[in-house]
Structure 1
Amino acid sequence: MWGAAVLTYLAAVFHRGTLGVAGPLAIDRFQVGPAALSSFTVLQVGIYAAMQIPTGLLVDRFGSRRVLTAAVLLLGCGQLLFAFATSYPLGLLARAVLGIGAALTWVSILRLVATRFSARQYALVATISAAMGALGGVAATFPLAGVLAALGWTGTFLLVGAITAAYATITAGVLRDSPGSAAGAGDARTILRKVRSSWAIPGTRLAFWTHFGTMFVPNVMSLLWGYPYLVEGVGVPPAQASLVLSILIAGQIAGGPPVGALIGRFPGARVPIVFGYLLCNGLTWLVLLSSARPPLLVVSLSFLMFAFGGPVSNVAFALVRDYNPIDQVGTATGIANVGGHSATALGVLLVGVLLDAVGEYRIALLALVMLLLLAVFRVTVWWRRTRAAVLAAQDRGVVTPVLIRRRRWDLPEHVPA
C-alpha cells in the first residue's frame, strides 16, 4: 500500500516539473514572455499551497484511499487538457487542474504513514517517501526532454496524462485506510476549530516556517528557473543543463534516507539541522552570484547543496507528528506544507518579474536570497517559542516529545509561547 501511494506522489512531482524542460516550447506555443511563463508555475504552485489545509481536512475526514484516487484522476485529466491547449488561458486552466491534483497527494501519503508506522519510524518513512517521489523530478528532466523531441508537445502530454489517469484503478483497488483513520463528517465550525487548534500550537508554526525556508530554493530552480538560468544565464549547453538540473533531484534521493534516519533517531538535532542547511544555502548563493558566469563545477556543487532542502524540509512533518494529536495530523501537515509551496510560488513570481524588469539572472535570483533571510528570522522566532512551550510543559510534569534543558537564550518563563 505504501508503494502504491508513493507512486502517486512520483506522478505528482513529475507533472509539477514538466515545465522545467518544456518552458522554451511553452513560450513559443503560447506566445508569452518570462513573466507570463512564470504564471503557469505560480498558479499551479499557488493552488497547491492554498489546497494544503483543505487537503488535510479532506484526508482526516475521508481517508487517504479516496483522496489519492481523486488526485491521480485530476493529474491525468489536467495533463490531457494541457496536451491540446494552444491558447494561454486554456494552458492556465490545465495547470490549475494539475495543481489541485498534485495538492492532494503528499498530505494523504503522510496521513497514511502516520497511521501505519510508529512515531519513531515516521520521519524515516516520510523522507524515503519524498526521495522515491523525487524520481518523478528526474523523469521530468532529460527523459522528458527526449520524449518531447521524439513525440512533440501533444503526443508527450497525451501519453503521460492517459497513463496517470489509468493509475486510479490501482489506488482504488490497493489502498486501504486503517480502521478509524477517517474521522467522518464535521460541520464548518468543527473544521474551523480544528484548523485553529493546529495553528495555535507553536510546533505547528515552527513546522510551517521550517518548510517555508528549506524547500523553496530547489523547487523554484527545478520547476522553472533552473534550466533557463543554466542555458541563458550561465551559458551551459542544453544537454548538459538537463543533467545539471537532475542534480537537484538526485541530491534529494540520496539525502532523503540518511537525513530521515538522523531526524528520526535524534529528535533534538532537527532544528539545528534546519539552521545548518539555511546557513549553507545562504553561503552558496553568495558564491554562485559573485560571478556572472561561474564554472560548471561550482554551479553543479551549488545545485547539489540546494537539493538537500528537500530532505531537510521533512523536519517540518516530524515536528507536526510530535506536537499534534493523531486525529489532526492531516490538518497540521497541510498547514506546514503550505509553507514551502507558498514560498515557491512567491519565489517563481518574483524572479520572473525581476527578470522582465532587468533582464539579468544574477539580480533576479536575489529575490530567493531575500526569502531565505525572512525564513531564518521566522524559524528563529518560532523555535524559541516552541522551546518555551516544551519547557513549560516539562515544568508541569507533562511527557514531551523532546526533553530539553533551559538555556540562557530561551524566552523568559513569564512570556507566553
Structure 2
Amino acid sequence: MVHTYELSIPILVPIWLAEFSVIDVGVAQFPVNPATVGTLVAVGYGLFGLGALPSGVLVDRVSARFLITVGLLGMGASFLLLSVSPSPVVIGLALAVWGVSASVYHPSGLSLISRGVEKRGSAFAYHGMAGNIGISLGPLVTIVLLLFLDWRVVVGLLTIPAVVAAVYALRVDIDERAAVVDGGGDADAHAGSAVSSLGDFLSSSRVLFASLFAVVFAVTFFSGLYYRGVLTFLPELLRDVPALAPVEFGGRTFEPGDYLYVGLLMVGVLGQYVAGKLTDSYRPEYGITFGFGALAVVALLFVPASAIGLPALLVVSALLGFFLFAVQPFYQATVAEFTPPGKRGLSYGFTYLGVFGVGALGAVIAGTLLTYFSVEQLFLVLAALGVGASALGSYLVSAGTGRGDPDGAT
C-alpha cells in the first residue's frame, strides 16, 4: 500500500504540469514547471523519509501492528484530501500528510521482519515483491482509471484499499518477536535497549555510527537520490521519446510511455526476489557493489537507447527496473548484519531517513536539471550516484565482518 501511493504520484505529475500554471503561496507566486513541481513533490517524499527516524525510535517501544495501522489510515486520509485539492498548495499539503503517514511503515515493517523471521533474506525478498506489486499495480490502476475518470475522482477511489488494509492489519495474528526469543527466555532482550530519552537516542546513535553502519547509511543517500531522481519524472520523459508517441484508439488517447513505466516497475519484482534470495547465501555487501555499478551503466545507456529505438529502450528499461529494486534487499540485509536486535528499529529509521528523506532531494535535482539543463545531464548525474554507492559497497566488502556477528560490527 505504501508503494501503491508513492509511485502513483509520478503518474499525476504530468497532469499537474498541464492543469496548473501558478503556485500561489500568498506572499509570492511561482510558475509551474518541473523544478517547482519537483520541489512540491519532494516535500511529501522528504517527510516520508524524515519521519522514518522518530518512527524507528517508536517501533523499539510500541507495537509494529499499531504503527502500521495508523500509517495506513493516514495515507488513506491524505489521498482523500488530495482528491479535493483546488490548487498546487493544497496538493503539496496532501502529499505532506501522505509522507508523514507513510513514514512509519519501513522501520515498523522491516523491524518486524528482522525480529520475527529467522530466514531474513527470503522474508525481505517476499516483502520486496509485495512492495513491487504495489509499485507496479498502483500506477497501472491509476493509468487505467484516468482513461475514464477525472484525476481527483481517481485519487479518491485510491483511499479505499488503505482502509481495507488497516482492518486486516488489526486482525492478522502475528508474533512480532519470534526470531529473537532464545532458549534462555530472552524474549524482551530488545526492550531493555529501546530508546526512552534524548540521551538514549544520542548514545544509541553514537553506537550505530561508530560501526560500519555509518557506511551503509551513506549508501542510502546515493540510493535514495538515484531512486527518486529517476522515477519522479520518468513518465514525463518517456512521453517525449519518439518511439513512444501517443496512440489513438476507440476515441481515447493512450500514452505508451506510461505502460512502459509500469512494465519497468513490474520487472522490479524479479529484482527484489533474486536479490533477497542471494542475501541468504552471500554477503549483501557484494550485491551493493555490483548492483549500484550496474545502475551507473544503465544510466549512461538510457538516453542513447531512447534514440536508437524501441527494442533498445525496452532492454535498458528492463535492466533499470531490475537493478533499481534489486539493491534494496541488499542494503536492508546489510543493516541487519551490522546492528543489534535492540537497535533495529532505530537503525532502519536512519536507513529510510537516508533513502527517502535525503533521497527526496532527487526529485528537486531532477526537476532542476530538466528545467535548466538537459535530460543527458540528468542521467550523467544519476550515473555518478551509482558509482558512489558502488564504491562504498566495495569498502564494505573489504572492511566488513558483519555476517555471523549477532551484535553487529562495532
Aligned to 1:134, the other structure's residue is in SS state helix
CA spacing shift, 1:74–1:348, aligned 2, 3 Å: same
Separation (CA, whole Å) in 2 of partners of 1:246 and 1:291: 18
Separation (CA, whole Å) in 2 of partners of 1:214 and 1:185: 27
Amino acid paired to 1:87: S
Aligned to 1:351, the other structure's residue is in SS state helix
More off after superposition, 304-313 vs 282-291: 282-291
| Contact residue 227 and residue 362 of structure 2 kept, 8 A | no
Aligned to 1:141, the other structure's residue is in SS state helix
Cα drift, residue 18 of structure 1:
1.4
Aligned to 1:201, the other structure's residue is in SS state coil
Aligned to 2:372, the other structure's residue is in SS state helix
Q: Does 1:220 align with 2:212?
A: no
More off after superposition, 251-260 vs 205-214: 205-214
Amino acid paired to 2:288: V
Amino acid paired to 1:311: A
Separation (CA, whole Å) in 1 of partners of 2:313 and 2:66: 42
Show the counterpart of 2:299.
285
Cα drift, residue 291 of structure 1:
6.3
Cα drift, residue 175 of structure 1:
5.3
Cα drift, residue 168 of structure 1:
2.2
| Contact residue 297 and residue 383 of structure 2 kept, 8 A | no
**Match runs of 1:125-140 below 5 Å:** 125-140=123-138
Deviation string 1:76-117 (CA, Å, 9 cap, x unpaired) is 111011100111211111001111122111221111112221
More off after superposition, 205-214 vs 38-47: 205-214
CA spacing shift, 1:146–1:292, aligned 2, 3 Å: closer
Amino acid paired to 2:303: L
| Contact residue 213 and residue 376 of structure 1 kept, 8 A | no
Show the counterpart of 1:144.
142
Aligned to 2:400, the other structure's residue is in SS state helix
Aligned to 2:61, the other structure's residue is in SS state helix
Q: Does 1:254 align with 2:254?
A: no
Q: Does 1:300 align with 2:308?
A: no
Q: Does 1:13 align with 2:3?
A: yes
Equivalent residue in structure 1 for 2:356, among 341, 351, 356 = 341
CA spacing shift, 1:28–1:285, aligned 2, 3 Å: closer
Show the counterpart of 1:374.
388
**Match runs of 1:74-113 below 5 Å:** 74-113=74-113
CA spacing shift, 1:147–1:159, aligned 2, 3 Å: same
Q: Which aligned segments of 4 or more residues in structure 1 are displaced greater than 6 angstroms?
A: none
**Match runs of 1:156-305 below 5 Å:** 156-174=154-172, 176=174, 177-178=176-177, 180=188, 186-202=196-212, 204-214=213-223, 216-222=225-231, 224-233=232-241, 236-238=244-246, 239-267=255-283, 270-290=284-304, 293-305=307-319
Show the counterpart of 1:411.
none
CA spacing shift, 1:41–1:234, aligned 2, 3 Å: farther
Aligned to 1:38, the other structure's residue is in SS state helix
TM-score (norm. length: structure 1): 0.82
Cα drift, residue 216 of structure 1:
4.6
Show the counterpart of 1:400.
405
Separation (CA, whole Å) in 1 of partners of 2:161 and 2:266: 24
What runs of 5+ residues in structure 2 fail to find an aligned partner? 22-31, 178-186, 247-254
Deviation string 1:13-55 (CA, Å, 9 cap, x unpaired) is 0111112221121123433211122123311221122122212
Amino acid paired to 1:253: V
More off after superposition, 322-331 vs 335-344: 335-344
Separation (CA, whole Å) in 2 of partners of 1:159 and 1:142: 14
Q: Indicate the structure with greater helix content.
A: 1
Deviation string 1:341-389 (CA, Å, 9 cap, x unpaired) is 245322221111121113x3222332322322332344444554435xx
User: What is the number of residues matched between the two proteins?
Assistant: 378
Aligned to 1:264, the other structure's residue is in SS state coil
| Contact residue 272 and residue 328 of structure 2 kept, 8 A | no
Separation (CA, whole Å) in 1 of partners of 2:383 and 2:242: 19
What runs of 5+ residues in structure 1 fail to find an aligned partner? 1-10, 403-416
Separation (CA, whole Å) in 1 of partners of 2:106 and 2:195: 22
CA spacing shift, 1:342–1:332, aligned 2, 3 Å: same
CA spacing shift, 1:185–1:339, aligned 2, 3 Å: closer
Equivalent residue in structure 1 for 2:13, among 4, 23, 26 = 23
CA spacing shift, 1:252–1:291, aligned 2, 3 Å: closer
CA spacing shift, 1:145–1:182, aligned 2, 3 Å: farther
Q: Does 1:324 align with 2:322?
A: no
Show the counterpart of 1:313.
328
Amino acid paired to 1:256: Q
Cα drift, residue 154 of structure 1:
1.9
More off after superposition, 178-187 vs 121-130: 178-187
Amino acid paired to 1:284: V
Separation (CA, whole Å) in 1 of partners of 2:116 and 2:203: 26
Q: Between the two proteins, what is the percent identity of the paired residues?
A: 18
CA spacing shift, 1:28–1:284, aligned 2, 3 Å: closer
